[in-house]
A = this chain, B = another copy of it.
């Protein structure tokens, strides 16, 4: 297991710390968030490859969080819960969790579950749709072609990956950080720090994409990608 980015949503600080340390010693990157609100936000960011979710959280119900998360992201989730009964387990799986881990657990056991979930998930990877259509824009992942209003659009590798991410998550505002992390994840590259106030490469790429779209379909093209000032970018069909 190398360079897996894990989000741990857990309010018990000591437990979280211990767990994180163990996982880090096995070459994982762990981010700890102690509350549900921000947990959901971080989990949906697309910057992690796995979410460990404690059910007993202050403020928000873990199951509800999981259901909401599932509407916004496909990231695998393992639920951690002190209530180890079967009912909880079934309910957990029903709201979209991928596995269920009763507390207390040994770190080793958790690691085994994590590996199993990641393996299953990557095995099922290939069946995501390999094309998306949003408004006049069609993107084919297998052929790596993008057409807008029927006109084909020349894109470089990085530009294509970015447009793919925006299109598969249309109507959703993505920060530069998210875009950067997701492109790296898409390519199977390890995560990297990224400071959007210094590194403007995402902006430049998006500028180029807009130019390419506009060249293929003057007027319509560039307008599809909107800038959300202070936040990031969003692809919106109706321009």
Contact = CB atoms under 8 A, between A and B. Distances in A.
B126 A104 contact: no
Interface stretch (A34-42, A50-58, A206-214, A228-236): A228-236
A121 B115 CA distance: 12
A124 interface: yes
Contact of A104 (B89, B120, B144, B158): B89
Contact of A228 (B105, B157, B158): B157
Contact of A143 (B97, B108, B142, B234): B234
A231 B106 contact: no
Contacts of A144: 173, 228, 231, 234
A212 to B, nearest CB: 15
Give the number of copies in the complex. 2
A75 to B, nearest CB: 12
Interface string A215-228: 00000000000001
Given A109-B124, A124-B116, A127-B119, A230 B94 contact: no
A107 interface: yes
B124 A119 contact: no
A201 interface: no
Contacts of A120: 109, 112
Among A90, A112, A157, the most chain B Cβ lie within 10 Å of the Cβ of A112
24 contacts: A18-B94, A70-B108, A93-B104, A93-B106, A93-B107, A96-B106, A96-B108, A98-B106, A109-B124, A112-B120, A112-B121, A112-B127, A116-B124, A116-B127, A119-B127, A142-B172, A142-B173, A143-B172, A143-B173, A143-B234, A144-B234, A156-B230, A157-B231, A158-B230
> Which 5 residue pairs are nearest across A and B when measured between Cβ atoms?
A157-B230, A112-B124, A115-B127, A93-B106, A142-B172
Given A18-B94, A96-B106, 9 more contacts: A90-B104, A93-B104, A93-B107, A94-B107, A109-B120, A143-B171, A143-B173, A157-B229, A157-B230
